[in-house]
Amino acid sequence: MSNKTYLGSVTRETRPFNLDVTKLRRANAKVTAAKAYKAGDLLTLSDANVVDHAVDEKTWNVVCGQDVTAVQATQMASDGVEIPVYFGGVFSIEAVCLAGVYLDPLKYDAARAKATLNNIEFSKV
């Protein structure tokens, strides 16, 4: 009798995020409680050094550098734990998100224009 393991077919979507680590500029910021964050999310940064989700592809300051669940964010906010955010670098526009949802390709130009003003480069790979 032999043991067999059957694995279903798995498809995995990968989107490269950081395209050039040598140009990466990173800082840390506090999170807003009860909000989930995904690496690549476009975020606004307040004067109190707290990030929140950008309203749209035109109103953001920094890019999220870490996945955080809403439960984790609540605990992190309570404990004053910060996450990495990027304010410089070269990133794939196809990996950029608004509140965890990849940008619609029709919004790429506006996001890329804002990125240029923020000293960030969003490239298409």
Q: What is the CATH number of the domain that holds 59?
A: 2.40.300.10
Partners of 25 in the beta sheet? 88
Residue 23: the pLDDT is: 72
CA dist., res. 41 & res. 65, Å (int): 8
CA dist., res. 23 & res. 106, Å (int): 27
Tell me, yes or no, whether 15 lies in a domain: no
Residue 56: the pLDDT is: 97
Helical H segments across the chain, by residue range: 70-79, 108-117
Tell me, yes or no, whether 4 lies in a domain: no
Domain of residue 109 covers 21-123
Average pLDDT along the chain, 125 residues, taken 10 residues at a time: 49 60 86 96 97 97 96 96 95 95 96 95 87
Residue 124: the pLDDT is: 84
Tell me, yes or no, whether 14 lies in a domain: no
* CB hemisphere CA count around 89 (13 angstroms): 22
Tell me, yes or no, whether 44 lies in a domain: yes
Number of domain units in the chain: 1
Q: Are 38 and 67 contacting, i.e. CB atoms less than 8 angstroms apart?
A: yes
Question: Over the range 71-105, which residues count as b (16 or more CB within 10 Å of their CB) and which as e?
Answer: ebbbebbeeeebbebbbebbbbbbbbbbeeebbee
Tell me, yes or no, whether 11 lies in a domain: no
Q: Are 44 and 52 contacting, i.e. CB atoms less than 8 angstroms apart?
A: yes
